[in-house]
Amino acid sequence: MTTNGNDPSLKILLPPSRFRATWPLLLVAGLFVFGAFFTWYYTWFGRELNDQEISTYLADEQHPRKAQHALVQIQQRIDKQDPAAQKWYPQLVKFADSPHTELRLTLAWLMGSDSNSNEFHQTLLKLLNDPEPIVRRNAALALVRFGDASGRNELRTIFEPYQLKSPTEGNLSSTLRAGAEVSRGALLARIQERASVSEVRSPLPGTVRDLVAQSGAQVKAGDLLLTLCSDEESVWEALRGLAIVGMAEDVPVIEQYQKTSSVSERTKEQAALTVKAIQGRASSEKQTAN
């Protein structure tokens, strides 16, 4: 039996059939969209928090990302010279002892926003001895804003290959190659000892320079696995810091960045400015001494 394409019954019956078939999919898609939106909304650091939310987030020890969100918001208020931000200072310094690296590194960066705070100054000096290099580097850069050269040696380490050592003993498994670019927290290798597997993640962003231990090797705790060269953004920040606290002995290392083709013109220009600033400061000090 054939049907007439103009049969009105088809126009009535087909749309409900399609609706019944697709509405569960539409519901799932809608829930997915709303879920993604609320996840973004409540984790995006740009979302403005009121005073009560900031205080609540700072006290939430179970959700460190909320505390980090609060820290970012407080920094923005400090940058806007909002004196009300100082009421949270006593709470902020306590994060220097947080077990969460993300909170300590954010705190170190934040504290550079108020170079008049002695609380921040003393806390930054403490963070120069943090076990994580990213925290120490942020603290060193923040101390520059205080006119404090205590972090100068830490800034110098940014120009040197970082040695990553094995945290444990076992069989090394890795697919990395020399020259690979890695972000902080990227998985670099796994070390297996019997039924236990330990992950080795990058403590810094950068580029793999040398793979000292090859995949399949048996390593011990403390053995050198690889070396990392700092990413260019970190180098640029270090150059800016040394323009203020650098010394004449730093110049040869800095000049290398004026000559190499492996960095951008922006970094080369900053290297030239840093050398000029250090030499000018050394000349002025020499004249003053005479």
Give burial (CB, 10 Å; 0-12/13-18/19+) of 15.
exposed
Residue 14 lies in a domain: no
Question: What residues have CB less than 8 Å from 96, skipping those under 6 apart?
Answer: 104, 107, 123, 126, 127
Written as six digits, the tokens of 285 are: 């000090």
| Last residue in a domain, options 178, 199, 230 | 230
Judge whether 197 and 190 are in contact, CB under 8 Å: yes
Residue 7 lies in a domain: no
| Number of domains the chain is built from | 3
Same domain, 146 and 51: yes
Same domain, 43 and 152: yes
> Which structural domain range is residue 168 located in?
162-230
Q: What is the reported pTM?
A: 0.82
One pLDDT digit (tens) per residue for the chain, 290 residues:
444 545 544 444 445 555 455 655 555 555 444 444 333 334 444 568 899 999 999 999 889 999 999 999 999 999 999 999 999 999 999 999 999 999 999 999 999 999 999 999 999 999 999 999 999 999 999 999 999 999 999 999 999 999 999 999 999 999 899 999 999 999 999 999 988 999 999 999 999 999 999 999 999 999 999 999 999 999 999 999 999 999 999 999 999 999 888 899 999 999 999 999 999 998 887 777 76
Same domain, 246 and 181: no
Residue 11 lies in a domain: no
Same domain, 42 and 125: yes
Rounded Cα distance, 205 and 183, in Å: 4
Question: What residues have CB less than 8 Å from 27, skipping those under 6 apart?
Answer: none
Q: Which residue is it, tokens 């970082």?
A: 162
Judge whether 166 and 220 are in contact, CB under 8 Å: yes
